[in-house]
Every structure is written in C-alpha cells, then in structure tokens.
Structure 1
Amino acid sequence: MLSAQSGPARAAVARRRHAGWWPALIIDRYLLRELSKPLLAILAILVALFASYSTASFLSDAVNGLLPGGAVARLTFLKVVISLEVLIPAALYVSVILTFARLHSDLEFAAMFALRLTPAVMVRAVLTLSAVLALVVGGLSIFVRPWAYRNLHEMADRAATLLDVDAMQAGSFYVSQHGARVVFLTHRDGPGTPARDVFVKLAYSDHDEIISGRLASAVPTGIANGGSDVAMSDANLYELSHVPGKSDEVLHVQAMTVDPNSRNAAPAGYSSVAASTAQIAASGSSEDIAELQWRLSTPLSTLLLGLLGIPLSRTKPRQSRNLIFGKAFAVYFGYYLLCTCARTWVQHGTIAEFPGIWWAPGILGLLLTSMAGRQPALALGK
C-alpha cells in the first residue's frame, strides 16, 4: 500500500518542483538580460568619458611638444584599462538600481510574486552577474592592471626624453625628466618659426650645462618621433661642474647645435602599482601591502556593490527616483572615499596590515546586512 502510493506521490512532487523550476529559469534569463543592457550602455559611456578626458590631457602635452603624437592613442588605451577595475563595479551598481527600480515601478515584480516566484530568484540573478564581473575585475586588478602600469610608465619615460622643439610656444617653461632638461623661449612668432632669447638647461651626472642664445631654430633629426635639435647663434655656454676641484667653464660661440633630447631613457624606478602581484605579496613594505590589499579587495567590492543595488532600488509609492539615485550615489562615493583613504593610511603606516583596508568593505557589508534585515530578502518580496 505504501509502495503503491509512493510512486504517484513522488511524481506529484516532481511535477510541483518542475512547475516552480521552469518559470524561475525563465525569470533568471530575463533578469540577466534586463541587467546586461544598461550595464553595457553605462560602461560604454563611462569608458568614453574617461578616454576623452585622458586623450585631452595627452593631446595637450603633444601640442606643446612634450609628447610624441603617435603615443597618445596607446597611452589613452592603457589609462582606460587601468580604470576598468573601478568603472565596471560602478556600472554594475547603477545598472542594478536602474533596472530593479524600473521593474518595481512597472509592477513586474508584483506580477512575478503573484506567480509564486520567491525573491531568491531575483537575488540569484544579481548574484550570478556580480560574481562573474567580480572574477573579471579580480583578473584585471591582479594581472592586467600591473602590466598596464608598467607599459604606461615605460612609454611616459621614453616620451619624456623626446622634445619637439618646433612645436614649443614662447613664455612657457618646458621641464622633463625630473628637471634634467629645461627649455624656455622668450619670443616666438609661432610654431615652426625661429625663437629669440632662448634658455636651455641640461643636467648630467657630473655637471650642468646652461645655454643662453640670441636666436634659435629647430633642426629635424630624421628620426621618427625623435624630436629635433636646436641650432643656436650668438650663444653663451656655462658648464657648472659637480666634481670637487674642477672649475666651471664659460664659452661664447657664434653658432652651435644643441641636442635637448636624451636618446636613452633612464630606467624606471620601482613602483608598487606596476609590480607584479607575486612581487608585492612577498614584500613587507607598507606601500606594497596597501597595493596588494587593494587588488584583492576589488572583486569583493564588485560583489557587494552589485548586491547593495537591490535594496537601494526599492521604491515606496509615489516616491521620486531622484531620491533613490541621490542616496545611491552618496553611498557609492562615500564607499570609494573610504577605500582610497584606507589605502593611503596603510601606505603611510597609519593603519597596520590588519585590519588594513578591509574595514572599508566590512562597513559596506554591514550596510548591506542591515538593509537586508530591514527589508526581507533584500527588499524584493513585498
């Protein structure tokens, strides 16, 4: 008797489970699609804005002759790659709030709950997307970002050794290589024209050269992106020695050619942001510890921000969306301000290795727990 009834009973249970599982799978796919559309759009806008800002900064240096024009695109690309660890969590956070606020106001969630779908289905969709993006952000922070910083520093150091004299303007000091080269033009009618009353200072390991010329013009070197030399007339050359016992020298020449460019870039100094993750993990310096904790915290921040967008998207009847986004932006900027402050404090030794910067994600986690406790199932159920 029990055996005869167990078969139909198990079949009924299976049918009920299948009836609940299939709509949940459809809702999962629907929510992931609805979340992905604004996510991609917002991320594209943020990347475009950041790339435009970076390009404008590099173009300004290129116009002033401090940067080869061909390096602008690569430098901008590297800056964008570095910024993705911050832009992706921001885009996820805004997309969750934007999508779920719309679904609340359009009563789509009310219809889903009328079909007996639990709030856990909605939480699962956000958790899935946040986990995938957390892995992407973690890979960017741990592996790609140090590579981008190394290339950025190398390109910036190489660019700093090249000076396009022909593009320089009068009235500005052009300083590069940490002050190893200074050029100043007193008068010039425009780019490409001869300059009058020119000052050049070149620093070497054993002496400094100061050259003051009445007239100067650019002489192309024939090297691609290699800058240009300077042909000077009626010039005074001052050589100031750093070697004890060696006297300084003064020389007046009718014509001379000066190379203000250093063809060999000085090796880049150590930088924790450009060092590999394995290298800073083995280091005990406070700067490396702060950088390592920052890289490891970015996936956690991505996951927490994605989940925090769920309760923040909850709207009350007749509540303005501006209030929702105002509160959401305040939480986001407050959190990243805490993270950057914590990182700086660890770098300077103000805060020990533990808690390090982990207290900032901890505060965000407590905020998420608190909001989830006040609103059952992360405010999706009622």
Structure 2
Amino acid sequence: MIVFRYLSREVLLTLSAVSAVLLVIIMSGRFIKYLAQAASGALDPGSLFLIMGFRLPGFMQLILPLGLFLGILLAYGRLYLESEMTVLSATGMSQQRLLGLTMIPAAFVALIVAWLSLSLAPQGANQFQLLLNKQDALTEFDTLVPGRFQALSDGSRVTYTEELTNDRTNLSGVFISQKSLGQDAKDRSISVLVAETGHQEVRPDGSRWLILNNGYRYDGNPGLADYRAIKYDTYGVLLPKPDASDEVTDRDAIPTLDLIGNPEPRAIAELQWRISLPLLVFIVTLIAVPLSRVNPRQGRFLKLLPAILLYMGYLTILISARGALEKGKLSPTLGLWWVHALFLAIGLLLLYWEPLRLKLASRRSVKEMTRG
C-alpha cells in the first residue's frame, strides 16, 4: 500500500504538471486566434472568456491521456535513474505488478476522460456553436469599436466611427468605404461615405438602416479619373440582414445518446471516437510502463522521443481511421477498434519483450555450457 501511494503520487503530480503546461500552450494559441477575430469584429470581445470556457472540456479530453503518458515516462524514468526501481525490483516488484499498480490511477484518469468525452465536451461544443450563431446574428454595428476600422467578413465594406453611444444607436465621425465585388475591372467601383453623425433605424418590415447626416459621398473606379462627389443632408444605408440560426450542426456538439443507434457513418465515427478516448488511456499506460525503464547510465530522456513519436503515431492513425470511417471507407464493425488492437499488441510486446529476451538468453547460455 505504501509503494502504491508513492507511485500514484509521483504519476499524478507529474501528470498535473505536464497537463497544466500543455493546457496553457493550447489555450494561449486558441485565445490569440479568438482575440484576432474579436479585433476584426467577427466576435464580441466580451464573450472571449466564455468561449474559452466552453472549449476547455474538448481540450482536456485530449490533454489528459498525453499528460498521463508523459507523466509515467518522466516519473518512472526518475525512479529508474535514482535506482529506486532497482530496489523495488529486488523486493519482488515485477513489470506486471508495476503495470497493475499504475492501472489504478490510470482508471481514475480514464473515468475523467470518459466524463469529458461522453458528456461535458459535447455540451461545451453545443454551447460554443450556439454562441457563434448568436454572433452571426449580430450586425456589423453591434460589434463596432470606436476608433477602429472594421471590415465585413467578405471585405466588401469597411466602417469607422470616432464615437459610439452605449446603446449602439448613435454615431459621430462616420467613415464607410464600400466596394463592388464584380469580376470586370469596370465594375469594381468604390463608394466612400463620410458623415458628421449617424443613427440606426429599424423599419416596420424588420430591415435595419443606418441614417447618415451632413456628409459627402464619393464614387469612382481605382486608377481612373472618373469620379463624382455628392453632398447630402440625409443619406440611408441598408445594413445586411444577419443570419440568425439556432441549429446545431457540429458533430462534436451532438449529445452522445443521440449518436447511439444512428446508422450514419459520421455518427458512428463520432461515437467510436468518444469511446476511444478513455480506452486510449489504458493502452498508453500499457505502452508507457515498459518504455519508462531506462538504464541509469543512459539518462531518463533516452526513450522519451521515441515514446512521443509512438504516441503521436497512435493518435494520427486513430484520427485517420476516424476520417475514413466518416467517408464510409471502413466498415463500422472494424471501425477504430483495429487501431486499439494494433497498439495493444505493441504494448504487450514491449511489456514481455525484456523478460522473453532474458529467458532466451539464459537458455542459450545453458545449452552452451552443456555442450562445453
């Protein structure tokens, strides 16, 4: 029991440290991406942290298996390097018993991963897509930031305002540049609107208009001297109608219960993927325990790179099989299970290779002695 607590503590502490580092790296990259979208007006800046919260379970379900894999390699590698594993081996600690003790904290991690992949991650993905649908329903002036040029997603219009009231209805110091997206060069005209003030107006038919006051409109083609300038007291600009939708189509956002019994290849692939993640925890544990065995003279990082490459190969083949299953190129019966069976065989080979090699070597030496 003392040995079990000691080994579990070493593995879980290393798992926590590695997972925290991986989470910070991944979350930072995603946050920068969403921050750039918010700066361009594609997302509401106030919803950035809410988006990251919804995406967190999806990140954790992939980080925890890798964190456990690296945690076993680093923790047990240190014990081998400091000859603690040698002492445990002298007291009867075999590789099989070490694996059995390691499978207990691995089962705890697998339960967390199963909860994330089967329940929490789909809920987070569902809320994330609903939030994006709400963002798509916003007009360009709902996300407009004073003092910053903001372009529409298709690049057809750029809008700027010096000041904007809190209710987002009244503007001052307005600049709008709008261009046509025709293929002919003669059709690629640009219209520039400047106005002292402006306000939004909703008509009875539901259409939104931007009413500009006291300004100028300039029309022309780039590279040509043909242009015109119009002074106006009041000018109306029709705002594009937002695409409001409450439909959730992302496969990651479909509840697990809705995937069970669904004959579509995409649903089958998604269900098998969610089941594969907790199963992945046990198989990488089987692979990590024999790979963590190092010679103190070789250093603890000797097998780290090959082990990471093996893990990445496992995950890459699993993702490729998932894509093939979605496209109907793989039988649902075969599905993703053959990948797990392949790496289960690799794990068993790694576990029993060293004892088998020593046994064969001892038999060979006995035969040589007999012959002598």
The TM-score, its normalising length taken from structure 2, stands at 0.76
Which AA in structure 2 matches 1:143?
Answer: S
- Asked whether 1:306 is paired with 2:285, we answer yes
Task: Tell me the distance in 2 between the aligned counterparts of 1:220 and 1:315.
Answer: 71
What is the match of residue 73 of structure 1? 49
- Asked whether 1:41 is paired with 2:21, we answer no
Question: Which 10-residue stretch deviates more, 343-352 or 156-165?
Answer: 156-165
What is the match of residue 328 of structure 1? 307
Question: Which 10-residue stretch deviates more, 126-135 or 212-221?
Answer: 212-221
Question: Which 10-residue stretch deviates more, 146-155 or 312-321?
Answer: 312-321
Decide whether the 8 Å contact of 1:286 with 1:346 is kept in 2.
yes
Cα pair distance change 1:264/1:105, threshold 3 Å = same
Task: Tell me the distance in 1 between the aligned counterparts of 2:241 and 2:110.
Answer: 43
Decide whether the 8 Å contact of 1:54 with 1:79 is kept in 2.
no
What is the DSSP-based 3-state SS (H/G/I as helix, E as strand, rest coil) of the residue aligned with 1:214? strand
Deviation for aligned residue 1:72: 0.1
What is the match of residue 225 of structure 1? none
What is the DSSP-based 3-state SS (H/G/I as helix, E as strand, rest coil) of the residue aligned with 2:271? helix
Deviation for aligned residue 1:148: 0.8
Task: Tell me the distance in 2 between the aligned counterparts of 1:362 and 1:218.
Answer: 68
Match of 2:8 among 15, 22, 32: 32
Which AA in structure 1 matches 2:59?
Answer: S
Decide whether the 8 Å contact of 1:138 with 1:298 is kept in 2.
yes
What is the match of residue 158 of structure 2? 185
Task: Tell me the distance in 1 between the aligned counterparts of 2:119 and 2:199.
Answer: 41
Cα pair distance change 1:41/1:230, threshold 3 Å = farther
- Asked whether 1:198 is paired with 2:178, we answer yes
Task: Give 1:273-284 correspondences, 5 Å limit.
Answer: 273-284=252-263
Unaligned runs of 5+ in 2: 165-172, 182-188, 202-207, 219-230, 359-372
Question: Which 10-residue stretch deviates more, 79-88 or 287-296?
Answer: 79-88
Task: Tell me the distance in 1 between the aligned counterparts of 2:47 and 2:36.
Answer: 12
- Asked whether 1:55 is paired with 2:31, we answer yes
Task: Tell me the distance in 1 between the aligned counterparts of 2:255 and 2:196.
Answer: 45
Deviation for aligned residue 1:191: 9.1
What is the DSSP-based 3-state SS (H/G/I as helix, E as strand, rest coil) of the residue aligned with 2:330? coil
Task: Give 1:18-167 correspondences, 5 Å limit.
Answer: 25-162=1-138, 163=140, 164-166=143-145
Q: After superposition, what is the alpha-carbon deviation per residue over 1:67-93, rounded to whole angstroms, capped at 9, x for unaligned?
A: 111110010111121111110000000
What is the match of residue 13 of structure 1? none
Let me know the Cα RMSD of the aligned residues: 3.3
Cα pair distance change 1:66/1:219, threshold 3 Å = farther
Task: Tell me the distance in 1 between the aligned counterparts of 2:7 and 2:326.
Answer: 41
Deviation for aligned residue 1:66: 1.6
What is the match of residue 174 of structure 1? 152
Decide whether the 8 Å contact of 2:158 with 2:178 is kept in 1.
yes
Moved over 4 A (4+): 167-170, 188-193, 210-213, 216-222, 228-236, 261-264
What is the match of residue 18 of structure 1? none
Task: Tell me the distance in 1 between the aligned counterparts of 2:196 and 2:328.
Answer: 51
Percent of aligned positions that are identical: 22
Task: Tell me the distance in 1 between the aligned counterparts of 2:44 and 2:284.
Answer: 40
Decide whether the 8 Å contact of 1:43 with 1:87 is kept in 2.
yes
Task: Tell me the distance in 2 between the aligned counterparts of 1:291 and 1:38.
Answer: 30
Decide whether the 8 Å contact of 1:166 with 1:218 is kept in 2.
no
Decide whether the 8 Å contact of 2:118 with 2:256 is kept in 1.
yes
Question: Which 10-residue stretch deviates more, 320-329 or 364-373?
Answer: 320-329
Task: Tell me the distance in 1 between the aligned counterparts of 2:78 and 2:330.
Answer: 42
Unaligned runs of 5+ in 1: 1-24, 202-209, 223-227, 237-251
Deviation for aligned residue 1:330: 0.4
Match of 2:333 among 326, 348, 354: 354
- Asked whether 1:340 is paired with 2:330, we answer no
Task: Give 1:165-314 correspondences, 5 Å limit.
Answer: 165-166=144-145, 173-175=151-153, 183-185=156-158, 194-199=174-179, 212-215=191-194, 230-232=210-212, 255-258=234-237, 260=239, 262=241, 265-314=244-293
Cα pair distance change 1:307/1:74, threshold 3 Å = same
What is the DSSP-based 3-state SS (H/G/I as helix, E as strand, rest coil) of the residue aligned with 2:303? helix
Question: Which 10-residue stretch deviates more, 312-321 or 123-132?
Answer: 312-321
Task: Tell me the distance in 2 between the aligned counterparts of 1:218 and 1:142.
Answer: 52
Which AA in structure 2 matches 1:345?
Answer: A
Task: Tell me the distance in 2 between the aligned counterparts of 1:71 and 1:147.
Answer: 17
Deviation for aligned residue 1:276: 1.1
Deviation for aligned residue 1:112: 1.6
Cα pair distance change 1:196/1:258, threshold 3 Å = closer
Decide whether the 8 Å contact of 1:234 with 1:255 is kept in 2.
no
Cα pair distance change 1:336/1:190, threshold 3 Å = farther
Cα pair distance change 1:341/1:258, threshold 3 Å = same
Which AA in structure 1 matches 2:102?
Answer: V
Which AA in structure 1 matches 2:329?
Answer: T
The TM-score, its normalising length taken from structure 1, stands at 0.74
What is the DSSP-based 3-state SS (H/G/I as helix, E as strand, rest coil) of the residue aligned with 2:111? helix
What is the DSSP-based 3-state SS (H/G/I as helix, E as strand, rest coil) of the residue aligned with 1:375? helix
Task: Tell me the distance in 1 between the aligned counterparts of 2:236 and 2:343.
Answer: 62
Decide whether the 8 Å contact of 1:32 with 1:126 is kept in 2.
yes
